[in-house]
Amino acid sequence: MKHQLFFLLLAVCFLLAFGSQARQGIYEIQSPDGHLKMKISTANAISYTVLFKGHEAVRPSAVAMMLDKQILGSSSELIKAKTNAGKNVFSELTLDFKEQFSLVFRAYNEGVAYRFVTRFKDSVTVINEQADFNVGSGCAVTYPETDLLTAWELSYQQYGSLADIPEGKRAITPALFSDQKSGIKVVVAESDLLDYPGMYLQKKDGDISGFWAGYPLKTELGSWGNFVSVVKERAGYIAKTVGSRTFPWRVIIVTDDDKELLDNHLVYELARPSQIGRPQWIKPGKAAWEWWHDALLPGADIPSGMDNRNTALYKYYIDFAAAHGLEYLMLDAGWSDNYDLLKVKPRVDVSELIRYGKSKNVGVFLWCVGTTLLKDLDKNLDFLQSIGAAGIKVDFFDRDDQLAIQWFEKIAKAAAKRKLMVNFHGCSKPTGLQKAYPNILNYEAVRGAECSKWDYSANPDQHLLYPFIRMIAGPMDYTPGSMRNRTKDNFKPVDPGLPATQGTRCHELAMFVVFNQPLAMLCDSPTEYERDPDVMKFLSAVPTVFDETRVLGAKLGEYALMAKKKNGQWFVGAMNNWQQRTLKLDFSFLEDGQTYTARFYKDAADADQNAEHYTYEMTRVNKDTKIDLILANGGGAVVHLIKAR
């Protein structure tokens, strides 16, 4: 009764304050925990301000949408304002305007968001959108910058202040802004992106604003392999769309605790609910994969290498997957013609491989080019379904204008009808479509392990940015699992051949816990894994999706320590940048009265010299156990916890 009275009084106070401010054209909503407040002004132009624990995290920032016939948000006449508690998960303010549009604002504990909703009878042309994020020129910036509109596998550039970023410089989202005085971090992202171009950020007039690719008027095949749809001419508008619809959420995540960034799901929460009924056929898992290590099997009694990719070689991979509990084989480029999916190369009997895999409980994913798949989507997917493929890896989109964003949903929807899972590659970042179509397991959109073949950009310093920024958008296909681990000083890119990676063996293993990857590649050669049964024991056991997550410790760009639970077993992962450190691992997240057998994989004492060296030991722990984890430069650790009998 006391709780009910408290919430009633709180609601009355809120309504009184709301009514007083509304008369002045000022509205306010706050997160359920009270830490975040969003103030919205409707006087003349529309703007919002974000406060976190009393600090101005985002200064007054303009909101508008420029249509071909009017500007939504400029001198618009407000006719109604209404609030919604959102089942105590968020507070919501909807502002309805006479000009046939609304603005919806939400405040969650994890962040705030807003979106346009229009109610026009006829279709509309969106010339541009104004989405300002005035974070302040003094903020340090972690900026996945690009001068292109074609790539998302980017390194993060670090700027000491926003003022240091050249005017006009763009970045993809999510991007992170850090107030050095208050310790507050702001991540700008978007969610529920449908039939509309993806949002970039741009330094404009000294601050940050949204930027969108123009609508593609003329395209032709070109770029790598001459099978990428390349835009040759863009319109002076960004979208043509139906007049009655919701537009993407503009998302602002705010926190002063780095740990909260590692378990922030606001982009997913804001997205459209599942459009798939009975999704039990969707099964995340791990996959053997030949492309990264050039299909080389050192020591195997079978011809290997890219020139020997045939039915016999792929059966070897299936046998490996079956022996170690891997759910899938990923068959990459080369099994069919890049321009005609139905022209299967005679050296690979795909139907036989799929039949053989099913006999051993191993499904097969098949790679294809996006433009090739879309030439006749139904016919191509019908073929893949008819031969029993488990899913598809669709590559080389290299765009996120309005038409390209339509492709993602079109493919996911058509694939779901045929019970095919999807792994998007060469694609823009996720924005929650995997919630509407959970058959989408992964998006690439990360500077992944493939880059170790060519340059130095995939390294522990970058690895300790991905979970705090990129992973907020959704799952990523980094493709970890390298067994040739190198220190910073002795790493060199290798292509063709057997590549290596930067960071220790345990750093690499920790990616399987820390990174969000429902379809997790084991990027290295089966013969490499089988030389190290202890490592393979962990890789066989670690799942790709979890029931519960605990962030035990984190600092942006430096380290991450996480524990994740699946079916009563816990998996702990620790990752480190290039700076050696010691982390306190506290097992107080375990339940009372239960002892666990703990399998520890830790950096060896000489891992700073030989990154492949690690120690493996078993011991028993309970919730009172505390240990020091000594992480080498570029180091890591993993622990597998099983209830002791």
Section 303-319 average pLDDT: 98
**Burial class for 514, CB neighbours closer than 10 Å (0-12, 13-18, 19+):** buried
**Whether the predicted pLDDT of 239 surpasses 70:** yes
Section 276-281 average pLDDT: 93
Buried b (16+ CB within 10 A) or exposed e, 156-179: bbebeebeebeeebbbbbbbbbbb
Q: Are residues 383 and 241 in the same domain?
A: no
Closest CA to 58 of 67, 70, 47: 47
> What average pLDDT is seen over the chain?
95
d(C-alpha 322, C-alpha 320), whole Å: 5
Last residue of a domain, one of 242, 270, 298: 270
Q: Are residues 261 and 330 in the same domain?
A: no
Q: Are residues 247 and 338 in the same domain?
A: no
pLDDT at 13: 43
Is the distance from CB of 99 to CB of 21 less than 8 angstroms? Answer: no
For 591-645, what is each residue's pLDDT tens digit? 999 999 999 999 999 999 999 999 999 999 999 999 999 999 999 999 999 999 8
Q: Which two tokens stand for residue 427?
A: 């694609």
Section 210-224 average pLDDT: 97
For 532-579, what is each residue's pLDDT tens digit? 999 999 999 999 999 999 999 999 999 999 999 999 999 999 999 999
Residue 4 belongs to a domain: no
pLDDT at 86: 79
d(C-alpha 253, C-alpha 469), whole Å: 10
Confidence of residue 247 (pLDDT cuts 50, 70, 90): very high
Residue 10 belongs to a domain: no
Residue 42 belongs to a domain: yes
Q: Are residues 216 and 355 in the same domain?
A: no
CATH number for the domain spanning 606: value is 2.60.40.1180
Q: Are residues 336 and 438 in the same domain?
A: yes
Residue 577 belongs to a domain: yes
For 88-114, what is each residue's pLDDT tens digit? 899 999 999 999 999 999 999 999 999
For 258-270, what is each residue's pLDDT tens digit? 999 999 999 999 9
**Whether the predicted pLDDT of 10 surpasses 70:** no
pLDDT at 24: 55
Residue 618 belongs to a domain: yes
CATH number for the domain spanning 442: value is 3.20.20.70
Section 236-264 average pLDDT: 98
Phi and psi at residue 189, in whole multiples of 5°? -145, -170
**Per the residue annotation, which of 190, 192, 400, 450 is the catalytic one?**
450
Closest CA to 405 of 385, 377, 433: 433
Q: Are residues 332 and 446 in the same domain?
A: yes
CATH number for the domain spanning 83: value is 2.70.98.10
Whole-prediction pTM: 0.95
Last residue of a domain, one of 270, 295, 321: 270
Confidence of residue 1 (pLDDT cuts 50, 70, 90): very low
* Domain span at 234: 26-270
Last residue of a domain, one of 244, 270, 296: 270
Q: Which two tokens stand for residue 331?
A: 């068959």
Q: Are residues 254 and 345 in the same domain?
A: no
Helices (H) and strands (E) in the chain, counts: 14, 41
**Whether the predicted pLDDT of 473 surpasses 50:** yes
Long-range contacts from 379-385, C-beta under 8 angstroms, 24+ separation: 379/342, 380/341, 380/342, 381/414, 381/415, 381/418, 381/420, 382/418, 383/341, 383/342, 384/341, 384/418, 384/420, 385/418, 385/419, 385/420
Residue 525 belongs to a domain: yes
Q: Are residues 643 and 531 in the same domain?
A: no
For 421-465, what is each residue's pLDDT tens digit? 999 999 999 999 999 999 999 999 999 999 999 999 999 999 999
Is 96 an active-site residue? no
**Whether the predicted pLDDT of 16 surpasses 60:** no
Q: Are residues 36 and 101 in the same domain?
A: yes
Residue 633 belongs to a domain: yes
Is 477 an active-site residue? no
Q: Are residues 258 and 307 in the same domain?
A: no
For 60-72, what is each residue's pLDDT tens digit? 999 999 999 999 9
**Per the residue annotation, which of 99, 395, 444, 508 is the catalytic one?**
395
77: left (phi over 0), alpha (psi -120 to 50) or beta: beta
Residue 405 belongs to a domain: yes
Q: Are residues 243 and 308 in the same domain?
A: no
Q: Are residues 504 and 387 in the same domain?
A: no
Overall number of domains in the chain: 3
